């Protein structure tokens, strides 16, 4: 069963993440940060990973800790659900258009975290949400999910569209990477024999 539940509690946040890699994209996300919930819903729907996230954070300071810690917990859940990664495709990529925005995402479930982030927003906020937190989320997800992740915004005028295209592009790449490779059976997708 490629499922996991992670609970993370600190002095700043309480997070619970439950995922099913073989789901249908069902989601029930409530972090207390409206725009972020909308992005997590997109991540679930387009990756076909069922996702339930509950978060409580120190919102009186800002949304930073809640967003980052959710990325940490989600990355840990992915790592746990993938196990030794037998039989997966491992790599995924997507070129995703959304109106004026065009975002490219490519990733490797390599257990070697690395983030390349070439995404600019042109504004500091989308509503009340700090745009810099989009990168913070993906940094935490990459680090704690052991993901080599490249995200490039090739076009985009509207910050909401750019952010949403980034989440959807990563989701589609993730969907491809976690899927079973019908040609490899239960082999680990590495010449080293381990990931």
- For residues 65 and 55, is the Cβ–Cβ distance under 8 A? no
Percentage, residues of the chain above pLDDT 90? 98
Chain segment 25-35, per-residue pLDDT in tens = 999 999 999 99
Which domains does the chain possess?
Answer: 3-178 (3.30.230.40)
Separation of alpha carbons 88 and 101, rounded Å: 30
- For residues 24 and 76, is the Cβ–Cβ distance under 8 A? no
Helix (H) or strand (E) holding 80: helix 64-82
Integer distance in angstroms from the first to the last C-alpha of the chain?
19
Decide: helix, strand or coil at residue 170.
Answer: helix
Q: Which of 159, 142, 175, 158 is nearest to 71 (CA)?
A: 142
| pLDDT higher than 90, residue 3 | yes
């Amino acid at each position: 069963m490629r499922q996991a539940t992670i609970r993370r509690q600190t002095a700043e946040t309480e997070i619970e993440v439950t995922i099913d890699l073989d789901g249908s994209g069902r989601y029930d996300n409530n972090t207390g940060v409206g725009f972020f919930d909308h992005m997590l819903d997109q991540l679930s729907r387009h990756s076909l990973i069922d996702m339930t996230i509950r978060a409580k954070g120190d919102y009186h300071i800002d949304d930073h800790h809640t967003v980052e810690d959710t990325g940490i917990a989600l990355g840990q859940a992915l790592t746990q659900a993938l196990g030794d990664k037998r039989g997966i495709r491992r790599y995924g990529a997507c070129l995703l258009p959304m109106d004026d925005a065009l975002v490219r995402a490519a990733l490797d479930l390599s257990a070697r975290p690395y983030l390349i982030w070439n995404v600019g927003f042109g504004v500091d906020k989308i509503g009340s949400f700090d745009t810099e937190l989009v990168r913070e989320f993906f940094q935490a997800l990459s680090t704690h999910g052991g993901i080599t992740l490249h995200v490039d915004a090739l076009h985009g005028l509207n910050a909401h569209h750019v952010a949403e295209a980034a989440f959807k592009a990563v989701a589609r790449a993730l969907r491809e990477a976690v899927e079973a490779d019908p040609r490899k059976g239960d082999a680990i997708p590495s010449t080293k024999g381990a990931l």
